[in-house]
Amino acid sequence: MRSLLLVLMLAGIASCTKYNRALPPGIDKDLPAFNIQLLDTTVKLNTANIPKGKPVVLFFFGPDCPYCQALTREITKRMDELKDVRFYMATVADFKEIQMYDTLFKLDKYKNITIGKDVKGFFFTYYKAPGFPYLVIYDKKKEFKQIVIGGVGVDSLKKVINS
């Protein structure tokens, strides 16, 4: 009984200590370079051109995904808490759907949100994204922090960003 108690106490202590998460297989530590075609359909943003200095959240979404919509709504409502985070929203949907999503949430009024099309399906191939929402968080040095899959709130997102 004492040894069981000792094991449980050690497990509890170990779970409270900070540790480095292992990188998922096939994912490099640094933010990979890929293109997001912006809403004007001609300009492509290459992630290699994202400056260091602020955390980066790659947000792979589906315009008709209710979890994506809920998270986008919460992000925009709480933007004052997230103003120092760069959001890059990408989808494989067609431009008409992306533009409707942009209009619905008035994303163009947020300077730290960029939305566009993942023309080459980068998220599916590189990150092996099973669906959306699929968020990949990088720190201010553009180094990998964590992947968050599925419905998540801003409080959980902020914990990852600030950890």
What integer pLDDT is reported at residue 22 of this predicted model? 61
pLDDT tens profile 33-70? 999 999 988 899 999 999 999 999 999 999 999 999 99
Q: What is the mean pLDDT of residues 2-14?
A: 36
Q: Does the pLDDT value for residue 30 go beyond 80?
A: yes
Structure confidence at residue 52 (pLDDT)? 96
Task: Name the band, by pLDDT with cuts 50, 70 and 90, for residue 27.
Answer: confident
One-letter amino acid of 86: R
pLDDT at position 131 is 86
> 3-class secondary structure for the chain?
CHHHHHHHHHHHHHHHCCCCCCCCCCCCCECCCCEEEECCCCCEEEHHHCCCCCCEEEEECCCCCHHHHHHHHHHHHCHHHHCCCEEEEEECCCHHHHHHHHHHHCHHHCCCEEEEECCCCHHHHHCCCCCCCEEEEECCCCEEEEEEECCCCHHHHHHHHHC
Amino acid at 98: I
The model's pLDDT over 90-146, given as tens digits with 9 standing for 90+, comes to: 999 999 999 999 999 999 999 999 999 999 999 889 998 888 899 999 999 999 999
Going by pLDDT thresholds of 50, 70 and 90, the confidence category of residue 152 is: confident
Write out the two tokens for 27: 């994912």
pLDDT at 4: 36
pLDDT at 18: 34
Instruction: Give CA–CA dist 12/34, Å, rounded.
Output: 41
Confidence tier at 11 by pLDDT (50, 70, 90): very low
